Amino acid sequence: MGLRRGGTGLALAALLLAAGCSGGAADGPGQQSAGPAGPTSSAAPTPSAPAGPYVALGDSYTSGLKVPPQGGTPAGCYRSGANYPSLVAAGLGLAGDAFRDVSCSSARAGELARPQHTPDGTNPPQLDALSPATRLVTVGIGGNDAGFMEVVTHCARESLLHTLSSPGPGDAAVTASACRASYAATGGGPDEVERRVAAAGEKVAAVLAEIRRRSPSARLYVVGYPALLPSDPARCRAALGEGIALPDIAFLTEKMDQLNEMLRARAAAAGAVFVDTAAVSAGHDMCAGESQRWVEPVAAASGAAPLHPNARGERGMAEAVLSAVRR
CB atoms within 10 A of CB 166: 17
Q: Which residue has the higher pLDDT, 303 or 220?
A: 220
Q: Report how far apart, in Å, the C-alpha atoms of 6 and of each of 12, 202, 245 are.
A: 10, 24, 24
Distance in angstroms (rounded) separating the CA atoms of residues 213 and 137: 13
**Could you give the number of structural domains in the chain?**
1
User: What residues are annotated to the active site?
Assistant: 60, 308
What angle, 0 to 180 degrees and rounded to 10, lies between the N-to-C axes of helices 8-18 and 148-164?
Answer: 60
Contact 266, 201 (CB under 8 A): yes
Is 101 within a domain? yes
CA atoms within 13 A on the CB side of 215: 24
Is 111 within a domain? yes
Is 284 within a domain? no
Is 172 within a domain? yes
Q: Which residue has the higher pLDDT, 33 or 85?
A: 85
Burial 198-237 (b: 16+ CB within 10 A, else e): eebbebbbebbeebbebbeebbbbbbbbbbbbbeebebbe
Which bin fits 22, alpha (ψ -120 to 50), beta or left (φ > 0)?
alpha
Residue ranges of the alpha helices (H) in 191-245?
A: 192-214, 237-240
Beta-bridged to residue 56, according to DSSP, are: 101, 138
Digit-coded pLDDT (tens) for 191-219: 888 999 999 999 999 999 999 999 999 99
Instruction: Report the relative pairing of strands 70-71 and 79-80 from DSSP bridges.
Output: antiparallel
Distance in angstroms (rounded) separating the CA atoms of residues 324 and 321: 5
CATH code for the domain in which residue 215 is found:
3.40.50.1110
Q: What is the mean pLDDT of residues 60-83?
A: 96
Is 33 within a domain? no
The least confident of 34-43, 155-164, 186-195 is 34-43
Q: Would you state the pLDDT for residue 63?
A: 98
Is 170 within a domain? yes
Is 37 within a domain? no
Is 138 within a domain? yes
CB atoms within 10 A of CB 187: 5
Instruction: Report the relative pairing of strands 79-80 and 136-140 from DSSP bridges.
Output: unpaired
Distance in angstroms (rounded) separating the CA atoms of residues 153 and 11: 9
Digit-coded pLDDT (tens) for 122-178: 999 999 999 999 999 999 999 999 887 777 777 777 766 665 555 554 444 445 677
Whether pLDDT at 299 is above 80: no
Q: Domain range spanning residue 65?
A: 8-20+48-267+291-297+311-325
Distance in angstroms (rounded) separating the CA atoms of residues 171 and 323: 47
